[in-house]
Structure 1
Amino acid sequence: MTDEPGRTARLMWTHFEPVHAVTYFHPRARAAYEAVGLRGYWRGYFAGRSAPLGATEAAPVISAFFTFAPPMVARALPAVWRLATPQEALRARLTGAVQALAELTYELPETHLAETADLLERAAGSAQTAGRVLGAVNAALPIGEYPLARMWQAATTLREHRGDGHVAALVAAGLDPVETLAYRVAVDMSPVNLLGRGWSEEQWQAARERLARRGWLTPDGTATDHGRAGFQAVEDATDRAAAHPWEALGPDDTDRLRELLEPIARSCHTLIPEGSPIGLPALPG
């Protein structure tokens, strides 16, 4: 990491990302999607995450989500909109997330949750969304009425804002989607959780060969020092691009928000399986 704003952005990511992630891993979140006809994990995932874009075709989602093979996305979109409208998918994802957070935060006082939501909303409201499609469409959604809904929506806006910046950094580094996944598998992610993104074995092997020619992997698939330095540069660029909300919030309020998020994030983190595609490190301490 090259600067303090980047370090702060990464630290705050480890605290708000678990809040967002309940939508992928909690049974109540999955049940909420099923209740509106979105049965099967991937139907709920693609409908819920793309719903802020409206009843979109596959092409914008292939671009914005980045790491999924185009045929996999095309199997889900636009077919999911025959099962649930984007508005129904949005209600389901928020309902499921709120129910999950209610279960995970029941021991915390309402004042704690309300202050957390207030500060997260201030940070999310200052996020610069030009060139960040998923961040922008989530930022444009109506603000929730209750603290848990507000908290989850703000965390989701910040998460997608950061993700848009990460995709831009990957593109600038000349990494394509399957190369990105192949490198992460070589370093720190379980192939079990990434092989399900629709790429063929031939595409995986071709990506590994391209990374080897580039000097990022050895012929046996081990990450090289050159590759680690190259990917660290991507991570540093991602952190710098995600720093503005925390600079706008200011150091005192950012520290306060981190303290408030700490017990919430730790509780949510228990849902995230080891080696998950999120790539989220453990909370410090």
Structure 2
Amino acid sequence: MWALYEPIHAVAYFAPEALAAYEDAGLRGFWRGYFAGRAAPLGPVGPEPVVASFFTFAPAMVARALPDVWSLTAPERALELRRAGATAALTRLLAGHEREVERAAEALVPRAAGLDGSGRVLAAANGALDFPDKPLERLWHATTLLREHRGDGHVAALVAAGLDGCEALVLRSAVDLPRAELQPHRGWTDQEWHAAAQRLTDRALLAPDGAATATGRDLLGTAETATDQAAERPWRPLAPEQVTTLTELLTPLTTACATALRFPNPIGVPRPVGVQKPTG
């Protein structure tokens, strides 16, 4: 399910309409808009709660954006910009899929409404926001709640595995995602990256050449399994045929939204079947 709903949510980061909404309001540069929009449900916070809840971002990178962005736009306004940018992107990407959008929203909203926010800061903060009325906006808000709910559980699983934010990225880069998609987009310096790699090597999670050991792969796999288990609750009431129907509803929407993403990407969402690699 995550691979199906994540690309719908992620247009808020990757689509040009989302960047334009922030820039038109004076939030120049990608990261000001990103931190303002994603952190806005928490209120006008400083960097510390965002470092904790976003987890894999370098504290220095977060501190460059927060709390300064709140002098440029209030969190309430940032929420409006986030929704406007996402809606504009989805309007373009999902043109011709209006009926599927309505049905997908009807199916996902019950899964997202009333999510248990215990121990899940971002899910709870987004869950305190009202659901929009329009189907396209309802769909995006539902996918946002579900992905932050899953993401909070993922952070908990990584912490339980004894990994800090940088170590989680270094280990992941040794398994299946390029370092170039992780380090620069999370703000860690080479010195910090190498120090994290050394800590992982000391724990026998990385080999001296930087490759993930079997122990490292097992640890990461255990964290992924725990993440999936923690994310199961919204889906347990669904019968198998309902899962099939929802998958069929989301697949064309996911495929269309994925054209706004690049693969690989910093969030690790896989390329949907049917989305072609760029040529040239």
Judge same fold: TM > 0.5, yes or no: yes
Range with bigger deviation, 183-192 or 145-154: 183-192
Is the Cα–Cα contact under 8 Å of residues 18 and 268 in structure 1 kept in the other structure?
yes
Superposed, 1:194-213 pairs within 5 Å as 194-196=182-184, 197-213=186-202
Cα distance, 1:90 vs structure 2? 0.5
Residues in 2 aligned to 1:264 and 1:274: alpha-carbon distance in whole angstroms:
17
SS state at 1:15 partner: helix
Residues in 1 aligned to 2:60 and 2:189: alpha-carbon distance in whole angstroms:
11
- Is 1:154 matched with 2:142? yes
Residues in 2 aligned to 1:152 and 1:71: alpha-carbon distance in whole angstroms:
30
Is the Cα–Cα contact under 8 Å of residues 9 and 140 in structure 2 kept in the other structure?
yes
Q: Which residue is 1:44 aligned to?
A: 33
When normalised by structure 1's length, the TM-score is 0.93
Cα distance, 1:283 vs structure 2? 3.0
SS state at 1:217 partner: coil
Q: Which residue is 2:278 aligned to?
A: none
Q: Which residue is 1:128 aligned to?
A: 116
Amino acid at match of 2:236: E
For residue 210 of structure 2, the aligned residue among 205, 221, 232 is 221
- Is 1:236 matched with 2:232? no
Residues in 2 aligned to 1:215 and 1:128: alpha-carbon distance in whole angstroms:
36
Q: Which residue is 2:130 aligned to?
A: 142
Amino acid at match of 1:189: L
SS state at 1:165 partner: helix
Cα distance, 1:139 vs structure 2? 1.3
- Is 1:111 matched with 2:99? yes
Residues in 2 aligned to 1:127 and 1:111: alpha-carbon distance in whole angstroms:
26
Q: Which runs of 5+ in 1 are unaligned?
A: 1-11
Superposed, 1:1-285 pairs within 5 Å as 12-108=1-97, 110-196=98-184, 197-283=186-272
Q: Which runs of 5+ in 2 are unaligned?
A: 275-280
Structure 1 residues 162-217: Cα deviation after superposition (integer angstroms, max 9, x where no partner): 00000000000000111011111112222222222222211111111111121111
When normalised by structure 2's length, the TM-score is 0.94
Residues in 2 aligned to 1:225 and 1:191: alpha-carbon distance in whole angstroms:
19
Identity %, equivalent residues: 52
Residues in 1 aligned to 2:101 and 2:127: alpha-carbon distance in whole angstroms:
20
Counting helix residues as a fraction of each chain, which structure ranks higher?
A: 1
Residues in 2 aligned to 1:237 and 1:284: alpha-carbon distance in whole angstroms:
26
- The 3 A distance-change label for structure 1 pair 52 and 249 is farther
Amino acid at match of 1:121: V
Higher RCO (CA < 8 A, seq sep 6+): 1
Is the Cα–Cα contact under 8 Å of residues 114 and 127 in structure 2 kept in the other structure?
no
Amino acid at match of 2:13: Y
Is the Cα–Cα contact under 8 Å of residues 186 and 223 in structure 1 kept in the other structure?
yes
Structure 1 residues 47-89: Cα deviation after superposition (integer angstroms, max 9, x where no partner): 0000001111111001000011111111111100111111111
Say how many residue pairs are matched.
273
Residues in 1 aligned to 2:19 and 2:202: alpha-carbon distance in whole angstroms:
41
Range with bigger deviation, 236-245 or 221-230: 221-230
Residues in 2 aligned to 1:20 and 1:135: alpha-carbon distance in whole angstroms:
14
Cα distance, 1:225 vs structure 2? 1.3
Structure 1 residues 132-152: Cα deviation after superposition (integer angstroms, max 9, x where no partner): 010011111111111110000
Residues in 2 aligned to 1:187 and 1:272: alpha-carbon distance in whole angstroms:
21
